[in-house]
Amino acid sequence: MNDHIEDLLNQVIDYAWDHNIGCSTIPLHEDQGPLVDTEARLIILNNKWPNENELPFQAAHECAHILNGDNGKLRYTNQYTKSRTENDANQRALSIIVPMYFANIPEESANLDQFMNDLAIPHWLEDSAVKCIEHFYESD
């Protein structure tokens, strides 16, 4: 894992801890995505996930489920879904990760494509990412 991705993951984990959410990274089969147990307020990340760049967004997404008040044990998927619960978690995950990613990047250097590629964020979240990035720089 490169240093930038590892730093972002650590920031998301710190954010989770600050919100009384536990986070554990364990080896699972490489096709098993992360999961969240909302009642236990616990996120489980797979440290054998084939694309490590996805881990910061996955962690933010699972954290969002808890912060959104969702219930149950939920497993992350990067597949498109019409589920309002998943969409709301994706939106909140972007609001968590965008300020972390762009914290030291001047607005004129902000690059949506690099952000999406660096974190392997699904392409269907591009419009939401644009809005979140714009909001970040407007409130900065």
Residue 110, φ and ψ in degrees, nearest 5: -65, 130
Question: pLDDT of 40-69, one tens digit each?
Answer: 999 999 999 999 999 999 999 999 999 999
pLDDT surpasses 90 at 15: yes
Lowest mean pLDDT among 2-11, 16-25, 76-85, 117-126: 76-85
Mean pLDDT of 9-22: 97
Q: Could you give the CA distance from residue 97 to residue 11 in angstroms, rounded to a whole number?
A: 9
Structure confidence at residue 77 (pLDDT): 67
Amino acid, res. 45: L
pLDDT band at 74 (very low <50, low <70, confident <90, very high): confident
Q: Which residue is it, tokens 């084939």?
A: 50
Is 0.85 surpassed by the pTM of this model?
yes
* Whole-number pLDDT of residue 31: 85
